[in-house]
Amino acid sequence: MSKRETVLITGFGPFRQFLVNPSWITAQGLKLAGLGESIDVYIKELPVSYDVTQQIISELWHTLKPKFAVHLGIARASSLVILEQTGKNSGYRDRDVCGFCPTGHRCIEGGLEKLDSVINVRAVSKHFHQAGMDVIHSRDAGRYLCDFAYYCSLYHGQRRAAFIHIPSSGRLASAERLVPLLQDIIVTMLEQLDDSKYLGECCDALPINLTVL
């Protein structure tokens, strides 16, 4: 019998007009859909709070010890699925829902300025874009809770994480269309994770200027 492994998937809690955050609804949909017989999907809702999010992500990496983590956030005014390559450590000057900014406006004191996922998201996005899907890649996750959570996870998980901004409009805003696509994207990432030739091959991407969580 093959060993079962765990993939962590997170979404965010209420934020502004989103009393129930679409990223959390999508995480729940992925839990129901699954990622294959050998993968256990563990989901967690993250509050839009720097301190609490940092604590939760650190604890999950050290206690759950997942194979991989996928973090979901909403990209307002976007109809695209955006795969993020990079998490940034500093520059967090926008207040969270509790009215706070992180100490020193950074994620991890003494951490590198940026961390890239071990996944080559450019290759993943190219694969799905060529298949006619509205999927792109980016190196700018927005320097708010999405970026913050991503950097924390990359730091604690030795870069075995990915962040996906999901659309707030267009045909992919429907869970019926979005969840199967994300399921395929995450499985592709897991396959790449198991293929050593891809590890560390993080390609450059053009910054995407969107309003993101």
Q: Of the residues 107, 137, 146, 152, which is catalytic?
A: 146
Q: Of the residues 84, 137, 156, 202, which is catalytic?
A: 84
Q: Of the residues 107, 152, 165, 202, which is catalytic?
A: 165
Strand duo 81-84 + 161-167: pairing: antiparallel
Contact (Cβ atoms closer than 8 angstroms) between residue 106 and residue 89: yes
Q: How many C-beta neighbours within 10 Å does residue 185 have?
A: 22
Phi, psi (deg, nearest 5) at residue 115? -130, 135
Residue 144 to residues 35, 183, 191: CA-CA distances in angstroms? Answer: 28, 25, 29
Is 84 a known active-site residue?
A: yes
Chain centre distance of CA 7: 12
Is 101 a known active-site residue?
A: no
Which of 54, 71, 44 is CA-nearest to residue 165? 71
Is 71 a known active-site residue?
A: no
Which of 59, 72, 84 is CA-nearest to residue 12? 72
Nearest-angstrom CA–CA distance, 1 and 195: 21
Would you name the residues annotated as active-site residues? 84, 146, 165
